[in-house]
Amino acid sequence: SDDNNLNSIFYEHLTRSLQHSLCGDLLLGRWGNYNTGDCFILASDYLNALVHLIEIGNGLVTFQLRGLEFR
């Protein structure tokens, strides 16, 4: 459906954006305190996402992004 296509495009865009900015944002404290294994929920009016911090170190962050469907 069109909703699924829009969700897919949104999550792909969000993933690419986080690839460029997440590590720097974490180091600058924009996400507050954090540790490996932490999860954050990003929410807008229509879409939600879960960011799971897998590994942090040496200027790199490994993360998983999961879309959340709330109806």
**What whole-number distance in Å separates Cα of residue 44 and Cα of residue 16?**
17
Q: What is the pLDDT of residue 36?
A: 97
Which stretches in the chain have pLDDT values below 50?
A: none
Q: Which domain holds residue 30?
A: 2-68
The whole-model pTM stands at 0.81
Q: What is the pLDDT of residue 39?
A: 98
Q: What is the pLDDT of residue 16?
A: 92
Question: What does residue 36 show for φ and ψ, rounded to 5 degrees?
Answer: -55, 135
How many domains does one find in the chain? Answer: 1
